[in-house]
Amino acid sequence: MFKRIDHIELLTAAPERTIAFYIDALGFRERERAHIPETPSGPLELVYLELGGTTVEVMCYPEATSIPPRSAEQRLGWQCLALEVEDIDNALNTLEQKGVKAAWGPVKRQDYARAEIRDPDGNPIELREWYRQ
């Protein structure tokens, strides 16, 4: 019945900055752009970014006067986007050279290592290296 996760939606007030981060720092590629002229919140701009079969849909309402701030508290629902990496230390070093610092980590456990970075809007992105034997 269910096949896979089709996409993850990411609402931003600064789409070009967000798109540049996901492409330049994380290696996503732009698949397509779309414009929806009429929604209850006004015109909607969409950009679909892909990485390894996963799509992030970057959404922006360019005429919106405000977007509610992200709560610093944890909440029910989605908490982060998680990307699998081949080598956590190499990934963190490469990101740091691009100006992206770890928010925390790496934390290394028996079966995996993980760390977290933030996108330009402060959304958490977990990086995880699985130790497969």
The answer on pLDDT for 74 being more than 70 is no
Q: What is the pLDDT of residue 1?
A: 60
Range of the domain at 95: 81-130
28-32, 52-56, 96-100: which range is least confident on average? Answer: 52-56
Q: How confident is the model at residue 80 (pLDDT cuts 50, 70, 90)?
A: confident
Residue 130, class by beta-carbon neighbours within 10 Å (0-12 exposed, 13-18 middle, 19+ buried)?
A: exposed
In the chain, the number of structural domains is: 2
**CATH value at residue 40:** 3.10.180.10
Instruction: Kindly state the average pLDDT of the residues 67-79.
Output: 59
* pLDDT at residue 68, as a whole number: 56
Tell me what pLDDT residue 77 has: 60
Residue 106 lies in a domain: yes
Note whether residue 75 is domain-resident: no
Assess contact for 107 and 114: CB atoms under 8 A: yes
Q: Is residue 76 one of the residues assigned to a domain?
A: no
Same domain flag for 49 and 88:
no
**How remote is the C-alpha of 48 from its chain's centroid?**
12
- Residue 71: pLDDT over 70: no
The mean per-residue pLDDT over the stretch 120-133 comes to: 89
